[in-house]
Amino acid sequence: MSIGYLALVLHAHLPFVRHPESDYVLEEEWLFEAITETYIPLIQSFEGLKRDGVEFKLTMSLTPPLISMLLDPLLQDRYDKHLAKLEELAEMEIERNAYNSHLKYLAEHYAQEFNGVRQTWEKYGGNLIKAFKQFFDSNNLEIITCGATHGYFPLMKMYPQAVWAQIQVACEHYEQTFGRAPYGMWLPECAYYDGLERMLADAGLRYFLTDGHGILYGRPRPRFGTYAPVFTSAGVAAFGRDHESSQQVWSSEVGYPGAPEYREFYRDLGWDAEYEYIKPYVMPNGQRKNVGIKYHKITGRGLGLGDKQLYDPYWARQKTAEHAGNFMFNRARQVEHLYGIMQRKPIIVSPYDAELFGHWWYEGPWFLDYLFRKTWFDQHSYAMTHLADYLREHQTQQVINPAQSSWGYKGFHEYWLNETNSWIYPHLHKAAERMIELSRRNGADELERRALNQAARELLLAQSSDWAFIMRTGTMVPYAVRRTRSHLMRFHKLYEDLLGGKVDSGWLEKVEAIDNIFPNIDYKVYRPLG
């Protein structure tokens, strides 16, 4: 019988990137890469575990933008074409490397992998939400929600209506997708501020996730640290991230992904291959890009990309089995130690970005698969659980006030508010004020109501924390700036048209077709609370 619990939580999120107005936009490939490298490999792993009688338990947040993109016919069609090119390139690589046995072996590995992705993609008719939902229905997977567009709540708190809209629109979208209300929420960037729990309670949510120090610095001091959830005064539970187990997985410095046997992320065939050969598989303007076929391994620290040795998936897979065994061993010892101190069953909450598994850490889905199997067959110290199941079984917990926190750099808000991105917030705040003003209107006719609903969409899309994050990281900055500005410009045009009593119906139709997230949104969600 187990004396503790392990709860793995994967946060599956991408910003809403969809450009019907263009034939090709590089940023749409964020989704395509994640489907090929993360979402479908996870689904394949779940299918294998069920087939083999392993009753795995996993909590996943699927954010509204990601769900919207996965269900979008345009993006499904574009992904289908993207995958076809990958399959074609892998077959060409087998031919090109006919006389290099190691490279031919790797090309065959990719051809087989892409073929498997194709089979899974067609099995579900391109609808991966349907695939995830079947594991939700069997209670292997618990699916939770997030902010409507992953807005950063602590930097919106001066406009409670804006925070409420992020929460409520997300909950409504979840219910429309899965036919039931969400039980828990992944706070965007795990960012919490005092009082947020009251809105979560009003929305019917029962728990949220925060970083460990959000619990540890709470008042009164949490008796069991992060190894038990706490209840807030509003009755909503908070689960804190376990630092030890998190670091072992996500850190490329001290964690598993930095092992020399694993695939090197930064060296890709799109840059290595002869230009004329690879030209049909890069950007239409001829500019090189990553194509997703990578032949090299990490090899060692401090090496230049040119010094990397060839990858071998066989030995990488052996290493993932070893690492999964180590992770299981560490969690079993951690649980035994904590149980001895606490005299009650601890819960270790290990949250990660889902895209770490597969996209950033190619072997990540294999690691998870081995971990579920080893946990099921090879140990008895802990049981895997969902957060919802844990709360149903353990209904009495300490009541505290969590501390303001996030899981970003230094644990607070500076990654999303600094010299690279601070310029966006006066604009976002002005738009929030204007949206609250618009929400008081009753919408004289259908055209006005459509304009009001579109204004709400544009504000939500502008508020995505992804744009501020990208500006801070320094990658794809022009795109993040362009997206922030375009949503704000569209919002202000709608505001001025509405106030002037003349909505441009042709322009509105075009914008509705581009920014088509939340088709059932009701702008009145921004009306002042209370």
CA distance 341 to 328: 20
Averaged pLDDT, 26-52: 98
323 and 242 in a common domain: yes
Contact status, residue 455 vs residue 493, Cβ threshold 8 Å: no
* 80 falls within a domain: no
For the record, the structure tokens of 313 come out as 């998936």
User: Within this chain, do residues 161 and 288 fall inside the same structural domain, yes or no?
Assistant: no
d(CA 187, CA 166): 11
- Pick the range with the lowest mean pLDDT from 111-125, 235-249, 455-469: 235-249
Total domains present in the chain: 4
SS3 content of the chain, % helix, strand, coil (to 5): 55, 10, 35
Which residue range is the domain that position 465 belongs to?
420-526
120 in the same domain as 136: no
Cβ–Cβ < 8 Å for 31, 75: yes
Q: Which residue has the higher pLDDT, 529 or 235?
A: 235
Q: What is the CA radius of gyration of the chain?
A: 24
Find the mean pLDDT for residues 182-205: 96
Last residue of a domain, one of 362, 389, 410: 410
Residue 213: helix, strand or coil by DSSP? helix
Q: Is residue 79 assigned to a domain?
A: no
What's the angle, vertex CA 433, arms to CA 476 and CA 61, rounded to 5?
A: 50
Question: Which of 375, 410, 445 is the last residue before a domain boundary?
Answer: 410
- Residue 138 inside a domain? The answer is yes
In this structure, the answer to whether residues 306 and 360 fall within a common structural domain is no
Q: What is the pLDDT of residue 530?
A: 59
Same domain for 359 and 235: yes
Both 97 and 229 in a single domain? no
Three-class secondary structure of residue 223 per DSSP: coil
Residues 112 and 142 both lie in one domain:
no
**pTM of structure:** 0.97
Q: Which residues pair with 240 in a beta bridge?
A: 210
Q: Is there a domain that residue 336 lies in?
A: yes
- Residue identified by tokens 């567009």 is 149
The closest of 466, 489, 493, 495 to 69, measured between CA atoms, is: 466
Q: How far apart are CA 58 and CA 12, in angstroms?
A: 12
pLDDT digit string (tens) for 268-325? Answer: 999 999 999 999 999 999 999 999 999 999 999 889 999 999 999 999 999 999 999 9
In this structure, is residue 83 part of a structural domain? no
337 SS3 class = helix
Handedness of CA 278, 280, 282, 288 (dihedral sign): positive
Whether 50 maps to a domain, the answer reads yes
Q: Are residues 155 and 46 in the same domain?
A: yes
> Is residue 60 domain-shared with residue 106, that is, in the same domain?
no
| Shared-domain flag, residues 118 and 133 | no
Q: Which residue has the tokens 């950007």?
A: 283
Q: What is the mean pLDDT of residues 384-390?
A: 96
Together in a domain, 54 and 164: yes
Residues 145 and 38 grouped into a single domain: yes
